[in-house]
Amino acid sequence: METIQQQIGALQAIVQNQQAGMKRQRFAIIALAGIIVAGGFISACSSNSVPNTFDSITCRALKVINADGNERIYASTDNLGNPVFTISDRKDQIRFLAGTDDDGGSSLTMKDKKGKMRISLDCDEKGDAKVFFFDTNEKLRVIAGTRVNGEVLLPTKDLK
């Protein structure tokens, strides 16, 4: 009888070891499947061969940064809800600034590397279009433009 009991015990130990091995095997298969799925997802998200395409993106602000994390392009609205768009150089200096106002005017300002306004394009609420040229101290030097009625605005002397 002892032999039968010993054989049953040995068989039970074998079955328990096999069950533990099967649990480890199941865990390994699940972990491997998870790694494969995660790798495929990461590969699909980081693929540069096919760009993502969207019909529209809705957000309060859009920031485009360079590889160093510096903001280069910014689009948003100001406190009054008017759109604002800026482009900055590598030294985080805003070089281009565009926007509109509540009255219907729009403008584009270009700045030098020191952040000084040098050229400003403006279309005011009446529809007059003007170009302003500034010196390196942001002093207005030349205005050129046209009025809604067709009149040309082009001063012939320096605005000192």
Domain boundaries, the chain: 1-53, 62-153
Q: Which of 2-6, 46-50, 143-147 has the least mean pLDDT? A: 46-50
* Tokens read off for 11: 């068989």
Report the pLDDT averaged over residues 2-13: 68
Strands 152-153 and 94-100: unpaired
pLDDT above 90: percentage of residues in the chain? 25
pLDDT category of residue 56 using cuts at 50, 70 and 90:
confident
- The SS3 assignment for 61 reads coil
Biggest CA–CA distance in the chain, Å, is 123
- pLDDT over 70 percentage in the chain: 66
CATH number listed for the domain at residues 62-153: 3.90.930.1
